[in-house]
Amino acid sequence: MRFGFRKFGSRKRQATREQVDIIRRSLGDKSVVLVGLMGAGKTSVGRRLAQRLNLAFTDADKEIEAAAGQSISEIFAEHGETYFRDGEMRVIARLLNNGPQVLATGGGAYMNREIRNNISEQGISIWLRADLDTLLERTSKRNHRPLLKTGDPKIVMQRLIDERYPVYAEANIVIQSRKVSHDTIVDEITSALKQKFELDGAPSS
């Protein structure tokens, strides 16, 4: 019986390796770009996805902070949101030249048409879609997101859902982010990526 399990485990590992090979070959220089609202899990899932695919992980917000020498809260407070969005556009355009990689973007980035165009040219976009309660539960644990301080977080988040979900829906792949392990979400993303590349007729051998 134990032998049977071990055999199953090695078959699963082999299947995972094959899946990763197909994805890496098909990606070429493109980035896997995670989009979605604050609390959707872009950074935590993105890190694990990068490990699975053996790619570098980049967090656009962290890169914006490094480029500005300030935290995102400080940028919003000192210069305002328009200034932040401008920097966000430039930093993401630069980062997209570093593919292949897994790139997590801030929740507002995909709302910018130019960023969306750049992502569709140089990446495969994955929307981590989550419901209001999940987003609120996750974002309530920390207090570093300026947009959620502009009013009642539940009202702000619902407004962002209404405004942004129709645009996030343009992403190449949609994955429901929910209360399951990060590994489960990574499994779903890699299956969806493989399926997409096979449908698109990208090289698979």
Contact 44, 182 (CB under 8 A): yes
Question: Taking CB under 6 A as the rule, does residue 107 contact ligand S3P?
Answer: yes
Structure tokens at 197: 């590349």
Taking CB under 6 A as the criterion, the residue among 27, 34, 61, 100 binding ligand S3P is 61
The nearer residue to ligand S3P, 50 or 61, going by C-beta atoms, is 61
We find the least distance from the C-beta atom of residue 97 to ligand S3P, in angstroms, to be: 20
For 155, counting Cβ atoms within 10 Å of its Cβ (0-12 exposed, 13-18 middle, 19+ buried), the class is exposed
Residues 33, 18: Cα–Cα separation, whole Å: 22
The nearer residue to ligand S3P, 87 or 100, going by C-beta atoms, is 87
We find the least distance from the C-beta atom of residue 158 to ligand S3P, in angstroms, to be: 13
Can you give the length of the chain in residues?
205
The nearer residue to ligand S3P, 141 or 179, going by C-beta atoms, is 141
Q: Measured on CA atoms in the order 13, 15, 19, 21, is the torsion positive or negative?
A: positive
Residues in contact with ligand S3P, counted by CB under 6 A, come to a total of 10
Tell which positions 32-51 bind ligand S3P, by CB under 6 A. Answer: 38, 42
If one counts every other C-beta atom within 10 angstroms of the C-beta of residue 81, the result is 14
**For ligand S3P, which residue has the nearest CB?**
106
Amino acid at site 17: R
Tell which positions 130-149 bind ligand S3P, by CB under 6 A. Answer: 145-147
Residues 183, 159: Cα–Cα separation, whole Å: 30
Tell which positions 70-99 bind ligand S3P, by CB under 6 A. Answer: 72
Residue 156 Cα distances to 9, 90, 96, 175, angstroms: 45, 26, 30, 23
Tell which positions 159-198 bind ligand S3P, by CB under 6 A. Answer: none
The nearer residue to ligand S3P, 63 or 188, going by C-beta atoms, is 63
Q: How far is CA 191 from the centre of its chain?
A: 16
Taking CB under 6 A as the criterion, the residue among 100, 106, 123, 153 binding ligand S3P is 106
Interface with ligand S3P (CB under 6 A): 38, 42, 61, 72, 106-108, 145-147
